Structure 1
């Protein structure tokens, strides 16, 4: 917004285009990416709230409530349709023996967690409620944590929620349309070539740069 008032016409016009893009993507934000943040035990709603407030201090609250509402709606589909069949429960029990390296073996604390979840369920609270109420994990100590591995470990405690997390967190991330405005990626990635491997994209960009005389 400061650069819109810049004396340089090129900078001014570029800033205007960027503001248009920003406003568009703030209005059409990705709900699935927001779900990914919430389902990361190190982040949850608190991180999303902080980022939304930073982006737009005026309209962040209704946007956050809308995402929360959609999250509960998706979770209701998983919990009411009975995704946790007897076979999936059996697989979860078998997988319990191969815990991720970053997690300790089931202990008294794990049993206590299961007990708290049972009490919460009796009180009419869902798995999602219980998960969101739990404190976030320390990011400093678990920076390299595999989130999907973590949900596999907690599949006994949060059976339906773990399945939902598995489906949402395994969605591949692709480039968004803003790349077409700010980089040369639009010349390489389009609707006919949107499955290129990252290293192949990099190779094509480098080759194109060399061809035009850039070092």
Structure 2
């Protein structure tokens, strides 16, 4: 497992990978479980194995290993074969310095682990979180460059070089990711402006983003039917105070329109402010407060009457996934459904099984056991009431004695 995707590995991580010993056989695992019970360690599971292709498994392995530190020490005292096997490994036995190094390393790894989980999600919007998370990780790396531990500090400097390589040039970043942040009502344009000025010397990207954002808005606005642009757009051009019109000596007055326009002008609503676009109105309003329960898709669904053009932009841009994990997992799920014992399933049945599995696992659609049992019982009662007509078959067992056998 490499923290900075380089060729050098941390020594402490090499040592703690030896926890694989306890999972190498059922007998060793049973001995380790006995040590856990003796040390009265409460945990939902035992140490997990490392997966070379996925560094986040190494983080989970190290996290569990630190929890079972006393159990490992107990195992070394009771199991002589464990000590012999670990002495054969590179680095020898685990020492207190190794545990201290790994304990100080875990908070650093946790930042990347949690960011990876948020990026790979498939049941919530991720495009608006990319810029926020990436620059947040950069801030954390900067903080670790002043750590008192020399090994952590050295690793942080190495990570900083990697970070600058990929995200040090703001001009090379995908601008749609910045626009996705603008469409987040909790951050908007002020957040992007502050972020660029805080992290980069060259702030010319701000003007470029502003032009591209307005051009994208105009593209969506021109592509939408006039009926969907809202009533405000059609009525915004009428800013002059209507006068009384006379026809055939009959005077017609729209009192509501006259008084409304006079009030707007008296309150300082000029013709320019009446012609503000949806984008200008949206950016001019206050930002939404930070709330962990905030649903950005629901917010745009509610506001689509006020911002029909921006709502369509948000629907397209916020749908951009940051990770290919969701699409790759579809193929993995399909392989588990259509195995060697189910090769005769039709494509329609495979689709039904995959979709049903996804719906059942959805967090917002919990399975209610009581309701399910009630539905099954109702179905069984209905089946009992069905009376199917069975054909009556009569077997004549009489023998005609007049017929002589041949």
TM-score, length basis structure 2: 0.31
Q: Secondary structure at the match of 2:186?
A: coil
Cα deviation for residue 160 of structure 1 reads 0.8
Greater RCO (Cα-Cα under 8 Å, separation 6 or more)? 1
Count of residues paired in the alignment: 150
Give the aligned partner of residue 19 of structure 1.
Answer: 161
Worse-matched range after superposition: 46-55 or 16-25 = 16-25
**Aligned residue in 2 for 1:37:** 181
Once the two structures are overlaid, the 10-residue window that deviates more, 24-33 or 123-132, is 24-33
Cα contact 1:78–1:164 (8 A) shared by 2: yes
Structure 2 residue runs without a partner (length 5+): 1-141, 231-263, 265-269, 334-406
RMSD of the alignment, in Å? Answer: 3.9
- The equivalent of 1:65 in structure 2 is 207
Q: Which residue of 2 aligns with 1:155?
A: 304
Spell out the pairing of 1:31-180 with structure 2 (5 A cutoff): 31-56=175-200, 58-59=201-202, 61-81=203-223, 83-84=224-225, 86=227, 123-139=274-290, 142-174=291-323
Show structure 1 runs of 5+ residues with no match.
91-114, 176-188, 201-215
- Of residues 319, 329, 332, the one that matches 1:196 is 329
* Deviation by residue 1:9-55 (Cα, 9 ceiling, x = unmatched): 99769835742542442322231221111101111011122222332
Runs of 4+ in 1 over 6 A off after TM superposition: 8-11, 119-122
Q: Is the 8 A contact 1:84 1:160 kept in 2?
A: no
Write the distance in 2 (CA, Å) between the matches of 1:143 and 1:13: 32
2: CA distance, partners of 1:76 / 1:18? 39
Change (3 A) 1:78 1:121: farther
Distance 1:45-1:127 versus aligned 2 partners, 3 A rule: same
Taking a change above 3 Å as real, the CA distance of residues 19 and 132 of structure 1, as seen in their structure-2 partners, is same
Kept in 2, the 8 Å contact 1:39–1:165? The answer is yes
Deviation at 1:167, TM superposition (A): 0.7
Using the alignment, how far apart are the partners of 1:35 and 1:157 within structure 2? 19
Quote the Cα distance in structure 2 between the aligned partners of 1:136 and 1:14.
Answer: 34
CA contact (8 A) 2:229 2:309 kept: no
Report how far residue 194 of structure 1 moved: 6.6
Show the counterpart of 2:252.
Answer: none
Distance 1:148 1:194 in 2: 21
Instruction: Report the TM-score when normalising by structure 1.
Output: 0.55
- Equivalents in 2 of 1:17, 1:146: separation in Å? 33
Q: Do the aligned partners of 1:151 and 1:165 also contact (CA within 8 Å) in 2?
A: yes
